Amino acid sequence: MQRLFPLPGRTENGTAPGPGAGPEDLGSLHGLAAAYAYPEPADRPYLRANMVGSLDGAARAEGRSAPLSSDADMRIFGVLRALADVVVVGAETVRQEGYRPARARDAFAAARRARGQTPAPAIAVVSRRLGLDFSAPLFREPLVPTIVLTGAGSPQRERAAARAAGAEVVVAGEGEDVDPVRAVRELADRGLVRLLHEGGPRILAQFAAAVVLDELCLTVSPLLAGGDAPRIMNGPAVPGLARFTPLSVLEEDGFLFTRYVRR
């Protein structure tokens, strides 16, 4: 893997790194973790999204994101999870992608302990109607209890089923809808301030429109998909065409791994 931006040996603002700064090792998991570290101190919630898209903007191929991915993309996917306190994901993506609990990884165990994190990030599922399989490993076998973010108007029977499966049900909105601002606040109130959003396109668009998205990690896949697949955000418009600034671009095997932060 190589860095395309900022140029190797330069910082994001174009200056040389400080004294004693050695060359980064993008070939190792710890080197990638350093390249993708959350801002410190972690004294407020910081929401990062990680998505993959084709050259023509599709977020899925054959109904899933996996055909657009690569080995390097999955390494970064794993590193981003290893850095996060919680992974936020929509119910539709949980069903389509067959989500399982995040796993503890020995390579990151010491760093997570030092940051006061659980062995693996919690998964927080955003769901209006709670149409989820509560017998699935995501609910029955997690290292950290799965969180269900829902609205006050969601069905009581399904809420009870979620709790019976071991999930923590968090009301984060009036009616059936989840309010992204309140969802972020509820997670932060539980000490989960390093947030990673993994979509899908509809839920991510809602969070972006609510202006709670701080960073977008977008993998640009060198593939054309065509068809009518959704874009990485496929929902309400973002007010005022929010401007994001490029932070870094990495490359491997034709895939571009970009980071953009909100100005």
Q: What is the pLDDT of residue 18?
A: 46
Tens digit of each residue's pLDDT (9 = 90 or more) over 68-121: 999 999 999 999 999 999 999 999 999 999 999 999 999 999 999 999 999 999
Q: What is the pLDDT of residue 14?
A: 55
Q: What is the pTM of this model?
A: 0.94
Q: What is the pLDDT of residue 192?
A: 98
Mean pLDDT computed over 237-257: 96
Q: What is the pLDDT of residue 260?
A: 98
Mean pLDDT computed over 239-262: 96
What is the percentage of the chain residues whose pLDDT exceeds 90? 91
What secondary structure, in 3-state letters, does the chain show? CEEEECCCCCCCCCCCCCCCCCCCCCCCHHHHHHHCCCCCCCCCCEEEEEEEECCCCCCCECCECHHHCCHHHHHHHHHHHHHCCEEEEEHHHHHHHCCCCCCCCHHHHHHHHHCCCCCCCEEEEECCCCCCCCCCHHHHCCCCCCEEEECCCCCHHHHHHHHHCCCEEEECCCCCCCCHHHHHHHHHHCCCCEEEECCCHHHHHHHHHCCCCCEEEEEECCCCCCCCCCCCCCCCCCCCCCCEEEEEEEEECCEEEEEEEEC
